[in-house]
């Protein structure tokens, strides 16, 4: 068979092979996977990604890679390759098609977004920040943005809200991942910037603390947060690393943070209200048992907001009628390749909801890139603090 055909087939198969294993990884990490299985999956996916030739040799059952991979016809391929290569080819074509299609539908300018702007803060390079304990490998990576925080300011038009909600602002923090690899000074500076925004409400959508050694940071970092109408939170999958999450909730409660997991909290604002609820699925609780519908006393012109760690809960939120959903977890992918964008995004939807603003039938979800991460590496994907301001069309607006 013509060598040129193989030269075309194998790169495409390689693309499909990588897409297949990364897709598997993303879906696996969107579920409540036991820690041991998660670690094993990291290893398996890593090995599979880096060892395609080895994998193919195993599949081929032959020692001579030339006769295994370069036969005269497809029919002469060993049975393992005869099955695996077409799967990879199909996956490559589907991946490219989905990527091209989603580029058009997901990166739209949602009608709900009236205006947006951003403000960048560079708190120093990883190698120069004092007290940093990031592994030296990460310090050496050029362009690592782990200490460059971007405030994403969005003015939202959620039509039909009571005019008393006009101008109300919500600061959205997510994925602080206190684990000591990113230094405490950075988080304190971020919190100072959040306080400077003077948001009415602050929300934190999970993955707050990864390591017991950073327990004191709840006091020295998070307790500095200020918001006149309250600070609300849900936990994320990494918070399970703190063995006793009840103790974590108690500590957060002691500094004035209010948990909204599986319950409603109502914030009266003038003659209107904001109703906040939380969903910590699939890692904690059973939101569908506790929060079955919007609150009975909610008026049509009130705002109902869901805090959730995983953006995968948006379909649940839309069914219940939440106008606004705030999520984190996917970190924007942390590494965004030129043209391709993010690759790793632990969601049932893969990279679809890696970060950004999404709208369907007037219901909006904002997925934060998060303030930090388990690993101190970010390329083309700076940490994010969100600032949402309610603007646009209001019910009974005064003339
Ligand atoms: Fe996270």
Q: Outline where 202-259 has alpha helix (H).
A: 217-220, 245-254
Answer yes or no: is pLDDT of 49 > 70: no
Q: Tokens 């959903």: give the residue.
A: 325
Q: Tokens 């040129």: give the residue.
A: 4
| pLDDT on residue 141 | 81
Q: 304: CA distance to ligand 1 center in Å?
A: 24
Q: 177: CA distance to ligand 1 center in Å?
A: 7
Q: 309: CA distance to ligand 1 center in Å?
A: 8
Q: 38: CA distance to ligand 1 center in Å?
A: 15
Looking at per-residue pLDDT, the higher value among 32 and 196 belongs to 196
| pLDDT on residue 155 | 96
Q: Tokens 């649940």: give the residue.
A: 316
| pLDDT on residue 177 | 96
Pairing between strand 231-234 and 257-259?
parallel
Answer yes or no: is pLDDT of 37 > 70: yes
Q: What are phi and psi of 253, to 5 degrees?
A: -65, -35
Q: 175: CA distance to ligand 1 center in Å?
A: 5
Looking at per-residue pLDDT, the higher value among 125 and 382 belongs to 382
| pLDDT on residue 207 | 97
Q: pLDDT of 17-27, one tens digit each?
A: 888 888 888 88
Q: Tokens 């609780």: give the residue.
A: 285
Q: Which of 38-42, 222-226, 378-382 has the lowest mean pLDDT?
A: 38-42
Q: Are 231 and 203 in contact (CB under 8 A)?
A: yes
Answer yes or no: is pLDDT of 220 > 60: yes
| pLDDT on residue 133 | 60
The DSSP secondary-structure symbol of 252 reads H
Q: 73: CA distance to ligand 1 center in Å?
A: 47
Answer yes or no: is pLDDT of 325 > 90: yes
| pLDDT on residue 231 | 98
The third-level CATH classification (topology) of the domain covering 113-395 is Purple Acid Phosphatase; chain A, domain 2 (3.60.21)
| pLDDT on residue 189 | 93
| pLDDT on residue 27 | 85
| pLDDT on residue 56 | 62
**How many Å apart are CA 140 and CA 123, to the nearest integer?**
17
**Domain regions of the chain by residue span:** 3-105, 113-395
Answer yes or no: is pLDDT of 46 > 80: no
Answer yes or no: is pLDDT of 3 > 70: no
Q: 114: CA distance to ligand 1 center in Å?
A: 28
Q: 208: CA distance to ligand 1 center in Å?
A: 8
Q: pLDDT of 327-352, one tens digit each?
A: 999 999 999 998 888 988 899 988 88
**How many Å apart are CA 199 and CA 208, to the nearest integer?**
20
The DSSP secondary-structure symbol of 335 reads B
Average pLDDT, whole number, for the chain? Answer: 86
Q: pLDDT of 153-187, one tens digit each?
A: 999 999 889 999 999 999 999 999 999 888 899 99
The CB density around residue 111, as the number of other CB atoms within 10 Å, is: 12
Q: 210: CA distance to ligand 1 center in Å?
A: 9
Q: 280: CA distance to ligand 1 center in Å?
A: 13
The DSSP secondary-structure symbol of 222 reads G
Q: 263: CA distance to ligand 1 center in Å?
A: 22
Q: Outline where the chain has alpha helix (H).
A: 3-28, 35-50, 52-60, 65-69, 79-105, 136-140, 184-197, 217-220, 245-254, 287-290, 314-320
Q: 176 in helix, strand or coil?
A: coil
Q: 8: CA distance to ligand 1 center in Å?
A: 38
Answer yes or no: is pLDDT of 245 > 90: yes
């Amino acid at each position: 068979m013509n060598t040129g055909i193989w030269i075309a087939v194998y790169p495409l198969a390689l693309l499909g092979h990588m897409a297949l294993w990364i897709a598997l990884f993303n879906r696996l990490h969107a579920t409540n996977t036991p820690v041991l299985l998660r670690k094993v999956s990291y290893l398996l996916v890593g090995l599979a990604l880096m060892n395609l030739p080895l994998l193919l040799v195993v599949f081929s059952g032959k020692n001579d890679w030339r006769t295994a991979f370069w036969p005269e016809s497809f029919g002469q391929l060993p049975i393992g390759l005869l099955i695996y290569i077409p799967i990879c080819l199909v996956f490559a074509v589907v991946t490219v098609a989905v990527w091209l299609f989603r580029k058009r539908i997901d990166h739209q300018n949602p009608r709900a977004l009236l205006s947006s702007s951003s403000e960048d803060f560079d708190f120093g390079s990883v190698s120069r920040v004092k007290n940093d304990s990031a592994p030296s490998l990460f310090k050496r990576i050029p362009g690592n943005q782990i200490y460059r925080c971007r405030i994403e300011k969005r003015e939202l038009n959620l039509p039909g809200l009571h005019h008393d909600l006009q101008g109300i602002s919500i600061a959205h923090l997510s994925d602080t991942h206190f684990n000591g690899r990113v230094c405490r000074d950075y988080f304190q500076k971020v919190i100072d910037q959040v306080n400077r925004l003077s948001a009415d409400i602050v929300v934190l959508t999970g993955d707050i603390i990864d390591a017991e050694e950073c327990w004191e940071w709840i006091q020295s970092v998070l307790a500095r947060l200020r918001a006149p109408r309250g600070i609300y939170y849900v936990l994320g999958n990494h918070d399970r690393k703190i063995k006793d999450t009840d103790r974590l909730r108690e500590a957060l409660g002691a500094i004035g943070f209010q948990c909204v997991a599986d319950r409603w909290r109502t914030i009266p604002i003038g003659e209107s209200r904001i109703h906040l609820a939380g969903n910590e699925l699939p890692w904690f609780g059973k939101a569908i048992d506790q929060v079955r519908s919007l609150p009975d006393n909610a008026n049509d012109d009130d705002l109902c907001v869901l805090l959730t760690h995983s953006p995968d809960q948006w379909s649940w939120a839309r069914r219940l009628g939440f106008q606004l959903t705030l999520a984190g977890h996917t970190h924007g992918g942390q590494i965004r390749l030129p043209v391709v964008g993010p690759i790793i995004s632990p969601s049932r939807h893969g990279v679809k909801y890696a970060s950004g603003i999404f709208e369907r039938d007037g219901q909006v979800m904002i997925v934060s890139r998060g303030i930090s991460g388990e690993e101190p590496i970010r390329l083309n994907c700076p940490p994010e603090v969100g600032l949402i301001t309610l603007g646009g069309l209001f019910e009974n607006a005064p003339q």
